[in-house]
Amino acid sequence: ERLVGAVADGEDQAVEAALRPKDLGEFIGQEKVREQLDLVLRAARARGATADHVLLSGAPGLGKTTLSMIIAAEMEAPIRITSGPAIQHAGDLAAILSSLQEGEVLFLDEIHRMSRPAEEMLYMAMEDFRVDVVVGKGPGATAIPLELPPFTLVGATTRAGLLPPPLRDRFGFTAHMEFYGPAELERVIHRSAGLLDVEIDPTGAAEIAGRSRGTPRIANRLLRRVRDYAQVKADGLITQEIAEAALAVYEVDARGLDRLDRGVLEALLKLFGGGPVGLSTLAVAVGEERETVEEVAEPFLVREGLLARTPRGRVATPAAWAHLGLTPPRSQSS
């Protein structure tokens, strides 16, 4: 488990329930999404109708589950939470759909990872609030139509582009969640610190925010680790100095890079003069699997403008040299 990983670990799951904003007003940042969603929900409430299906796209840890719970709360509706990988057979989905109450919110995380037959059943359910349940096998099989109460599907995916267009088109409202800026992350951290009864000053919050990779989940996790340090090594108050010292212990640097990220960058700079170098060669040099380098380390390095993927291989940017405090070879700096 990486301290700067965006996917929830066991501890996150245990504490996140307490940290989740409960309504749109409490939800920090994502101004456009909030404003649009507010209109969608108000209008549905005014009509006394069930809200349109909502598609949320964005990286893990940006608040998709939280928003789905807020949608349910704002509609005063119950919510059922499941995920694409959990629905392997159309029958699994039929069982869930047929047990929904009127107006219920169904949150389907990683909706792009549903099986094909389940996906096709979902099309009809979303559009006509109806499913065909197939009973029996072979020539004797019959499809029994089943009416469903109106419900609101909230689908979440890392990228809306991964969804087949017929599925994407059935959502009335699509929102793309962006990474959070430093000021927003500071607000997330102050809010969480208040809920966790942790003392933190503005410089401490700013320091943690800068290392949180634009992701509230990571900000909350770093806050907990820094809190531990502040309790054990100091008087409990989180200042910039304490945050720096704590995160040095965990090897999360000033920009939120961890050991793996720095290892990749260092190999690229020190062994290959900044590249270009092929992914496989780079992976061997770091002592990691190709997939780990490509899928775990690189996306953030690319997003931070430290590494570029080019047809000739991986290349470090001038910012990478600066970040590691190294001087690029003359041919590159001229």
Q: Per the annotation, where are the binding residues for DNA?
A: 290, 309, 314
Q: Residues within the annotated binding site for ATP?
A: 19-20, 61, 64-66, 127-129, 170, 180, 217
327 a catalytic residue? no
Among 2, 3, 20, 81, contact with ligand ADP (rule: CB under 6 A): 20
Other C-beta atoms within 10 Å of 145: how many?
Answer: 10
Among 5, 61, 103, 256, contact with ligand ADP (rule: CB under 6 A): 61
Confirm or reject binding of residue 176 to ligand ADP (CB under 6 A).
Answer: no
253 a catalytic residue? no
Confirm or reject binding of residue 24 to ligand ADP (CB under 6 A).
Answer: no
Among 63, 103, 214, 256, contact with ligand ADP (rule: CB under 6 A): 63
Q: Is 47 exposed, middle or buried (0-12, 13-18, 19+ CB in 10 A)?
A: exposed
239-261 burial, b at 16+ Cβ within 10 Å, e below that, comes to bbebbbebbeebebbeebbbebb
Helix/strand/coil percent split, the chain, to 5: 50, 15, 35
Q: Is 321 within 8 Å of 263 (Cβ atoms)?
A: no
Confirm or reject binding of residue 60 to ligand ADP (CB under 6 A).
Answer: yes
158 a catalytic residue? yes
**Part of the chain binding ligand ADP (CB under 6 A), chosen from 54-62, 93-101, 144-152, 162-170:** 54-62
Q: Residues within the annotated binding site?
A: 19-20, 61, 64-66, 127-129, 170, 180, 217, 290, 309, 314
- For the bound state, the minimum distance from the C-beta of residue 49 to ligand ADP, rounded and expressed in Å, comes to 25
Site size for ligand ADP (CB under 6 A): 19
Q: Is 247 within 8 Å of 238 (Cβ atoms)?
A: no
* Integer angstrom CA distances of residue 131 from 83, 101, 121, 159: 19, 15, 6, 27
Report the residue number, 206 or 279, with the smaller CB distance to ligand ADP.
206
Q: Which residue is nearest to ligand ADP (CB)?
A: 63
Q: Catalytic residue among 109, 253, 258, 261, which?
A: 109
Report the residue number, 22 or 130, with the smaller CB distance to ligand ADP.
22
**Part of the chain binding ligand ADP (CB under 6 A), chosen from 20-28, 158-166, 291-299, 321-329:** 20-28
Which among 102, 123, 127 is positioned nearest to 49, based on CA atoms?
Answer: 102
Other C-beta atoms within 10 Å of 297: how many?
Answer: 25
270 a catalytic residue? no
Which tokens belong to 334?
A: 């001229």
Strand partners, 130: 147
65 a catalytic residue? yes
Please tell me whether residue 144 adopts helix, strand or coil conformation: strand
Q: Catalytic residue among 2, 80, 113, 158, which?
A: 158
E strands present in 64-184: 79-83, 105-109, 130-135, 142-147, 152-157, 173-176
Confirm or reject binding of residue 83 to ligand ADP (CB under 6 A).
Answer: no
Confirm or reject binding of residue 256 to ligand ADP (CB under 6 A).
Answer: no
Confirm or reject binding of residue 66 to ligand ADP (CB under 6 A).
Answer: yes
Among 188, 230, 257, 264, contact with ligand ADP (rule: CB under 6 A): 188
Confirm or reject binding of residue 274 to ligand ADP (CB under 6 A).
Answer: no
Tokens 């000739």 sit on residue: 312
Which tokens belong to 264?
A: 């990749």
Residue ranges binding ligand ADP (CB under 6 A) = 16, 19-21, 27-30, 60-66, 188, 216-217, 220
| Residues classed as catalytic | 64-65, 109, 158, 217
